[in-house]
Amino acid sequence: MQITKITTYRIPPRWMLLKIETDAGIVGWGEPVIEGRARTVETAVHEFTPNLIGKDPSRINDLWHEMYRGSFYRGGPILMSAIAGIDQALWDIKGKALGVPVYQLLGGLVRDKMKTYSWVGGDRPADVINSIRKLRESGFDTFKMNGTEELAMIDTSIAIDAAVARVAEIRSAFGNEIEFGLDFHGRVSAPMAKVLLRELEPYRPLFVEEPVLAENAEHYPHLAACTSIPLAAGERMYSRWEFKRVFEQGGISIVQPDLSHAGGITECLKIGSMAESYDVALAPHCPLGPIALAACLHVDFVSHNAVLQEQSMGIHYNNGAELLDYVLNRDDFKMTDGYIQPFTKPGLGVEINEERVIEASKNAEDWRNPIWRHPDGSMAEW
Ligand SMILES: O=C(O)[C@H](O)[C@@H](O)[C@@H](O)[C@H](O)CO
Ligand SMILES: [Mg+2]
């Protein structure tokens, strides 16, 4: 079999799908994207393309190394997202060619269903109580929200109390019938993270995500030493070589590699198994579309230390299209009480509605994350 064509489709709300065609008529789909840099990743995909046309798509490992090691300058969000989408599509092709779901090619199921969580509260966490109430009706009991709005490097007790009050309100409304993670979203400096973690301790969040920016990872062990709250990170780390330093120094209890940012199924499977050897849990990051989520789930279904899966249904970013809008058969994702059942179809197990994708790609807007500023006019982390 040979790769004959690679096509990319930038589509609302802020995703990109990639289609790899072969001379055997088998097609694979991937989802390479960095939110806000779709065009840059698209260029990176098409820079890899000439070297992929004519190649045997079954040689996923060799193609992965050629894309990764063949670039003198390697790693980082753009190249690793381009590689991720191509890798996902190659696994989709392999599963379809052999007539089995990808997880069967990775050793088969370690679980019968995968637990997911839902976002609530939006960019500026508000109205979370009603959102949680609504989502509980569809069986969810685990949620995630932003832990705070923008925060100065050294902020006030009022700002800290506002963040804590929101969490206290959730606990008093639902007790321990629900669990929730708090995403600090890189908005919190190391000094403020220490204060917030201490004040949040009594409410036992399930985890605190990106307690500081990924580039300040050296703080993870110190922050972990001053709290019992599990710390989570990973969406802005892009390869084993970044994760290994975090495993070595300790401090992170849950890693969240993004299957569309960190080199795809091939790389994230390795990151997950490295994590297991450090007794670190795996909870893949996925605020994106259906192919990204499917790729995550195939890794979850074969990873002993996979504990939770992010999915973007109803997420505050999905304006203009929802998670399953481009999927021909919504039952590809069988969700009951917040759990997703294993795929049954070959490959990634999701049939893309290509007609809808092509239509939507015709006038897809370029999504950009908001630019936030502090009251004094200085840049704030979004
Ligand atoms: O945990 C999450 O989903 C992420 O922090 C998410 O909010 C960001 O990755 C966002 O997609 C960036 O544009
Ligand atoms: Mg996050």
| Claim to verify: residue 95 and residue 108 sit in the same structural domain | no
| Claim to verify: residue 130 and residue 80 sit in the same structural domain | no
Is 304 among the catalytic positions? no
| Claim to verify: residue 36 and residue 63 sit in the same structural domain | yes
Say whether 183 counts as a known binding-site residue: yes
Task: Report the CATH number that the domain containing residue 15 is assigned in CATH.
Answer: 3.30.390.10
Q: What is the pLDDT along the chain (382 residues), one digit of tens a residue?
A: 999 999 999 999 999 999 999 999 999 999 999 999 999 999 999 999 999 999 999 999 999 999 999 989 999 999 999 999 999 999 999 999 999 999 999 999 999 999 999 999 988 877 899 999 999 999 999 999 999 999 999 999 999 999 999 999 999 999 999 999 999 999 999 999 999 999 999 999 999 999 999 999 999 999 999 999 999 999 999 999 999 999 999 999 999 999 999 999 999 999 999 999 999 999 999 999 999 999 999 999 999 999 999 999 989 999 999 999 999 999 999 999 999 999 999 999 999 999 999 999 998 999 999 999 999 999 999 9
Residue 351 lies in a domain: no
| Claim to verify: residue 41 and residue 8 sit in the same structural domain | yes
| Claim to verify: residue 88 and residue 110 sit in the same structural domain | no
Residue 375 lies in a domain: no
Residue 360 lies in a domain: no
Name the β-bridge partners of 144: 119, 181
| Claim to verify: residue 44 and residue 185 sit in the same structural domain | no
Residue 275 and residue 267: Cα distance in Å, rounded? 12
Q: Which atom of ligand 1 is nearest to the CA of 312?
A: 3
CB 42 within 8 A of CB 8: yes
| Claim to verify: residue 173 and residue 121 sit in the same structural domain | yes
| Claim to verify: residue 17 and residue 133 sit in the same structural domain | no
Whether the CB of 235 sits within 6 Å of ligand 1: yes
Residue 183 Cα to ligand 2 middle (Å):
5
| Claim to verify: residue 114 and residue 87 sit in the same structural domain | no
Q: Which two tokens stand for residue 8?
A: 């990319």
Residue 381 lies in a domain: no
Residue 174 CB partners (closer than 8 Å, separation 6+): 132
Task: Report the CATH number that the domain containing residue 111 is assigned in CATH.
Answer: 3.20.20.120
- What single string gives the DSSP state of each residue in 330-372? GGGS-EETTEEPPP-SSBTS--B-HHHHHHHHTT--------E
Whether the CB of 14 sits within 6 Å of ligand 1: no
Residue 41 lies in a domain: yes
Q: Which atom of ligand 1 is nearest to the CA of 258?
A: 9
Of 99, 127, 154, the one marking the end of a domain is 99
| Claim to verify: residue 198 and residue 338 sit in the same structural domain | yes
Residue 29 and residue 43: Cα distance in Å, rounded? 17
Which domain, by its residues, includes 180? 104-346
| Claim to verify: residue 142 and residue 89 sit in the same structural domain | no
Of 99, 121, 143, the one marking the end of a domain is 99
CA atoms within 13 A on the CB side of 372: 13
CB 266 within 8 A of CB 276: no
* Residue showing tokens 């060619």: 97
| Claim to verify: residue 308 and residue 175 sit in the same structural domain | yes
Given 219, 261, 285, 298, the catalytic residue: 285
Of 54, 74, 99, the one marking the end of a domain is 99
Q: Which atom of ligand 1 is nearest to the CA of 210?
A: 5
Residue 357 and residue 350: Cα distance in Å, rounded? 14
The predicted-structure confidence for 217-261, as pLDDT tens digits, reads as follows 999 999 999 999 999 999 999 999 999 999 999 999 999 999 999
Whether the CB of 369 sits within 6 Å of ligand 1: yes
Residue 315 Cα to ligand 1 middle (Å):
10
Q: Look at the chain and report how many structural domains it folds into.
A: 2
Give me the sign of the Cα torsion angle 257, 263, 267, 269: positive
Is 298 among the catalytic positions? no
Residue 379 lies in a domain: no
Helix (H, G, I), strand (E, B) or coil at 142: strand
Residue 247 lies in a domain: yes
Say whether 21 counts as a known binding-site residue: no
Given 185, 219, 261, 298, the catalytic residue: 185
Of 163, 175, 160, 157, the C-alpha closest to 121 is 163
Residue 355 lies in a domain: no
Burial of 256 (0-12, 13-18, 19+ CB in 10 A): buried
